[in-house]
Structure 1
Amino acid sequence: MALYIYLLLLLFADWSPPQTPFYKANFNGALFHEINKAGIGVVIRDSAGLVIGALSKNISLPPSAIEVEALACQRAIIFARELGLREVVFEGDFETLIKSLNSESISFSRFGHMVDDSCATASSLRSYFFSHVRRD
């Protein structure tokens, strides 16, 4: 429960609504080295700010912070599809990941396969884009 509350607090920081007809899926990941776990969280809201869906999940500790963020992004995309959404802004706070997701070129980084999978999954949506949000 503490993980869920922590991730929700991060996801609600400095939120701005998407333009209609878009939904916004905020995603985040957190590392908990002391228990050898990580957590991912997703909150999806409409343009009025109403929560359409939320989830959090404990996962095995990935090798790096960017990989937990990439997993959170993948889960956000899948969750949006499960909810039947077709126009979605995916917003995260890891700038390197967002730049890779928005890049036209193939990523050869350690997490490149995750970026490619996310983009392939998102391509089934009518319209989507990835947005970076700065969190303090």
Structure 2
Amino acid sequence: MPWNDDDPSALASLFTRDGVYQDLAFQQTWRGHRQIALWHSITHQGITGVRIKVTNAFRGGDHVAVQWTFSGTMRGAPASFTVPATTIMRLRHGRIVSDVDYYNRADLLKQSGLPADWTPPTS
């Protein structure tokens, strides 16, 4: 699964050139292959043992819904987290045009032992 791999370009290649990834929990939007690859790198650098595990998925035409678990340990956090998540994707010619991730940020931070106002480090 490209998301769990260390190669950011493998994940980015699943998107159209104008593809958009949104993480609503952390209010981040990434556009195009370069930014999506950067998001993958930042996530893997900031979360030790980061993994997703797909638990359910279905497709209707050019729309895909995926249920999954998101897990790992945030850099500097005293504990790991595992939270349920849902992604809604829109496809064009078999590639992702938009990907919107939904999960509970408060639950992730609480499980991690981080304060509710915590934000990811910038470097």
Same fold (TM over 0.5): no
Using the size of structure 2 for normalisation, the TM-score is 0.32
Q: By percentage of residues, which structure has more helix?
A: 1
Q: By percentage of residues, which structure has more strand?
A: 2
Using the size of structure 1 for normalisation, the TM-score is 0.30
